[in-house]
Copies of this chain bind each other. A is one copy, B any other.
Amino acid sequence: MKSTIPDTGVPITPSAANGSDRQEASLHGEILLRLRDYVVEGNIPDGARVPERQLCEMFGISRTPLREALKVLAAEGLIELLPNRGARVRQLSQRDLEELFDVMAGLESLAGRLACEAITDEEIAAIEQLHYEMYGHYLHRDMHGYFQANQRIHESIVAAARNETLKTAYANFAGRIRRVRYSANFARKRQRWAEAMREHEAILDALRRRAASELSDILFQHLRNKRMAAIEHLGEPQGDVSAAP
């Protein structure tokens, strides 16, 4: 039998008794969470078929709840469902990525604006803390630590917006590009890195002054620059990753 999930050689394992012990009442709910992670983590190559049968065995369930989860993931934009031809991991074109980054930029820009209305001094202090932490990683050229601190800063801003709807939407879009971000961020140029640090200082400054529309602008530009840095280096390996001879 020829596996339909190609090449990777990665054996299909059910996310190994998921680390985060969240639990869903319904089966389809759990499957949804697990399958989403499975896709987001990149266990299935871009554009590859997602055979129902195999996933059913992998999760040890019947096709009904799995198909329900697939429909939801399709609605979220992570996979696409071709009529009578099954589900495929959605292949994001460069254009798609640009669009996604811009929407993320818009959401963060909004988050900043809203945060200015409600953020407390303590929250700002916490973000400053993260900022210094990030600066330390920057000095030590610790990309991974830097990336994490960076992410936490942005999440803090979103949290300070006091808008669960926004937070959910943000998480959703973040999930869609996570696959790409993993690979993209490690290609960041040194120069861009320094630039990003300066931008972050401006962000913090605007936040302290609660300058809503200014912060909104800065955040948008910051994310726009991020988009450039993340996408330009992609070049053309857009088609099939495994296609390179």
Contacts and interface: CB of A to CB of B under 8 A. Distances in A.
Nearest to A73: B75
Contacts of A67: 68
B169 A103 contact: yes
Interface stretch (A12-20, A149-157, A212-220): A212-220
Interface stretch (A1-9, A124-132, A158-166): A158-166
A199 interface: no
Nearest to A167: B99
A243 interface: no
Given A75-B75, A109-B110, A110-B109, A165 B103 contact: yes
B99 A110 contact: no
Given A103-B169, A106-B106, 15 more contacts: A72-B75, A99-B163, A99-B165, A99-B166, A102-B114, A103-B165, A106-B107, A106-B110, A109-B109, A109-B216, A169-B169, A213-B213, A213-B216, A216-B217, A216-B220
A168 B113 CA distance: 23
Interface of A: 25-26, 28-29, 64, 67-69, 71-72, 74-77, 81, 83-84, 96, 99-100, 102-103, 105-107, 109-110, 113-114, 163-166, 169, 213, 216-217, 220
11 contacts: A99-B164, A102-B163, A103-B163, A103-B166, A106-B113, A106-B166, A109-B109, A109-B216, A169-B169, A213-B216, A213-B220
A25 B71 CA distance: 15
Contact of A75 (B76, B100, B164, B220): B76
A83 B213 contact: no
Contacts of A107: 106, 110
A83 B99 CA distance: 35
